[in-house]
């Protein structure tokens, strides 16, 4: 069966090929094509099941209408949530999202960016890894439009959409203090990533400003997400002469592993210890008590990232750095002291 082309549609409708091209490329209004003529062309294209030659179109317009997205780990709830939001907003703007996961590896992060650039994506939305500053600076010099999401590097002036991690951690710690807790532990990763270090600062400042004397062992920093690492730090917190009465986990993955340990040891939440997670997780639904967590505005974050990128791809050179606020969702895992 012969593939229908622009000339076929033009002959069927009785107009020029150029006119058909304008309409099918979304330029009917710009080129002042008569409305009824445009409708006839669209109906003919639909009747003949006309498929746009995207390669030819991109060569002509210098646009592929694709966005490259690199997330940290597609298994993270943050990644799935932000990806969904970005895809939905991109579709509204007639863009397709292609994405990959760096798995927190700076070398893989760089390789994915190269793949997307070689595929001529119009722009990039990136969740950078630890140690990827050089790659971001290379991108800046190349002139390829990009927006960072969730994480950024203070020393690099570029567009980003992130959470106010300091304020979120401060407010979560304040929530526990308001519940009467005075021995609050914080479990985080040992890292150089700015957004996680800001969570440390928010936690520490909330204690200080509420005149809570900080004990060094309360801040537990681990190198990996493995069960053993989380188990070791919680055992230290629980077996101290003055055990902690609350644990604040810096991520949902850390919280899940911590809850697993507490459950295995039959340490009751919240009767024996209160638990608060920085992020939410579907796994919390499987725990016997609803977990209190700090919710990130993923839908808003993804939407803003796409719209910000659209502005850059349309020629804007204005740097936008947007920090959003988290909201504490109260469960039953934090008791009044």
Give 78-129 pLDDT, tens digit per residue: 888 999 999 999 999 989 999 899 999 999 999 999 999 888 899 999 999 9
In a domain, 333, yes or no: no
- Among 44-53, 140-149, 256-265, the range scoring the smallest mean pLDDT is 44-53
Sequence-distant (6+) residues with CB within 8 A of 239 are: none
Q: How many domains does one find in the chain?
A: 3
Residues 106 and 83 in one domain: yes
pLDDT band at 45 (very low <50, low <70, confident <90, very high): confident
- The yes-or-no verdict on residue 55 having pLDDT over 50 is no
In a domain, 330, yes or no: no
Give 195-246 pLDDT, tens digit per residue: 999 999 999 999 999 999 999 999 999 986 555 688 889 998 988 888 899 9
Token match 């809850």: residue? 259
Residues 10 and 29 in one domain: yes
Q: Which residue has the higher pLDDT, 163 or 30?
A: 163
Residues 105 and 92 in one domain: yes
In a domain, 41, yes or no: yes
- The yes-or-no verdict on residue 74 having pLDDT over 70 is yes
- Give the phi and the psi of residue 26 in degrees, each rounded to 5: 75, 25
State the maximum Cα–Cα separation within the chain, in Å, rounded to a whole number. Answer: 89
Residue 92, pLDDT score: 92
Residues 258 and 140 in one domain: no
pTM listed for this prediction: 0.81
Cα–Cα distances in angstroms (integers) from residue 208 to residues 170, 177, 205, in the given order: 11, 11, 5
What average pLDDT does the segment 3-14 reach? 84
DSSP string of 159-217, one letter each residue = -EEEE-HHHHHHHHHHHHHHTT--SEEEEEE----HHHHHHHHHHHHHHHHTTPPPPGG
Residues 112 and 235 in one domain: no
Run of H or E including 77: helix 77-92
Q: Which residue has the higher pLDDT, 21 or 171?
A: 171
Give 291-334 pLDDT, tens digit per residue: 999 999 999 999 999 999 999 999 998 999 999 999 999 999 99
Residues 211 and 252 in one domain: yes
pLDDT band at 271 (very low <50, low <70, confident <90, very high): very high
Q: Residue 314 sits in a domain of what CATH number?
A: 3.40.50.2300
Residue 298, pLDDT score: 94
Domain of residue 44, residue span: 6-52
Residue 58, pLDDT score: 45
In a domain, 332, yes or no: no
Q: Which residue has the higher pLDDT, 105 or 32?
A: 105
In a domain, 1, yes or no: no
Q: What's the mean pLDDT when you consider all of the chain?
A: 89
Q: Which residue has the higher pLDDT, 296 or 62?
A: 296
Residue 53, pLDDT score: 55
What average pLDDT does the segment 33-56 reach? 75
Give 251-265 pLDDT, tens digit per residue: 999 999 999 999 999
Q: Distance between CA atoms of 171 and 51, rounded to whole angstroms?
A: 53
- Give the phi and the psi of residue 314 in degrees, each rounded to 5: -95, 10
Q: Residue 40 sits in a domain of what CATH number?
A: 1.10.260
- The yes-or-no verdict on residue 56 having pLDDT over 60 is no
Residue 130, pLDDT score: 93
Residues 235 and 268 in one domain: yes
For helices 35-47 and 17-24, angle between their N-to-C axes, nearest 10 degrees = 80
41, two tokens: 């062309």
Residues 283 and 173 in one domain: yes
Torsion of CA 37, 38, 43, 48, to 10 degrees: 100
In a domain, 249, yes or no: yes
Residue 62, pLDDT score: 58
Percent of the chain with pLDDT over 70: 94
- The yes-or-no verdict on residue 266 having pLDDT over 60 is yes
- The yes-or-no verdict on residue 161 having pLDDT over 70 is yes
- The yes-or-no verdict on residue 60 having pLDDT over 70 is no
């Amino acid at each position: 069966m012969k593939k229908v082309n622009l000339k076929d549609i033009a002959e069927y409708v009785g107009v020029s090929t150029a006119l058909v091209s304008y309409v099918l490329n979304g330029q009917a209004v710009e080129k002042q094509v008569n409305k009824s003529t445009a409708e006839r062309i669209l109906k003919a294209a639909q009747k003949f099941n006309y498929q746009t030659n995207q390669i030819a179109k991109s060569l002509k317009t210098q646009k592929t209408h694709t966005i490259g997205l690199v997330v940290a780990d597609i298994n993270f709830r943050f990644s799935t949530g932000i990806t969904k939001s970005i895809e939905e907003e991109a579709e509204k703007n007639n863009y397709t999202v292609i994405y990959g996961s760096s798995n927190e590896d700076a070398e893989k992060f760089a390789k994915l960016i190269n793949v997307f650039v070689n595929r001529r994506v119009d722009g990039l939305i990136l969740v950078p890894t630890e140690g990827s500053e050089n790659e971001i600076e290379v991108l800046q010099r190349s002139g390829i439009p990009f927006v960072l999401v969730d994480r950024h590097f203070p020393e690099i002036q570029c567009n980003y959409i992130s959470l106010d991690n300091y304020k979120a951690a401060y407010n979560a710690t304040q929530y526990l203090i308001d519940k009467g807790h005075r021995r609050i532990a914080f479990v985080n990763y040992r890292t150089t990533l700015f957004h996680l270090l800001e969570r440390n600062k928010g936690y520490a400042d909330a204690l200080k400003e509420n005149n809570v004397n900080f004990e060094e062992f309360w801040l537990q920093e681990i190198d990996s997400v493995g069960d053993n690492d989380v188990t070791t730090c919680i055992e230290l917190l629980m077996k101290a002469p003055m055990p902690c009465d609350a644990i604040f986990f810096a991520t949902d993955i850390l919280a899940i592993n911590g809850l697993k340990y507490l459950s295995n040891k039959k340490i009751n939440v919240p009767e024996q210890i209160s638990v608060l997670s920085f992020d939410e997780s579907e796994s919390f639904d499987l725990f016997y008590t609803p977990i209190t967590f700090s919710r990130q505005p993923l839908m808003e974050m993804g939407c803003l990232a796409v719209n910000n990128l659209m502005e850059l791809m349309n020629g804007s050179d204005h740097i936008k750095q947007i920090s959003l606020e988290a909201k504490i969702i109260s469960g039953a895992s934090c008791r009044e002291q």
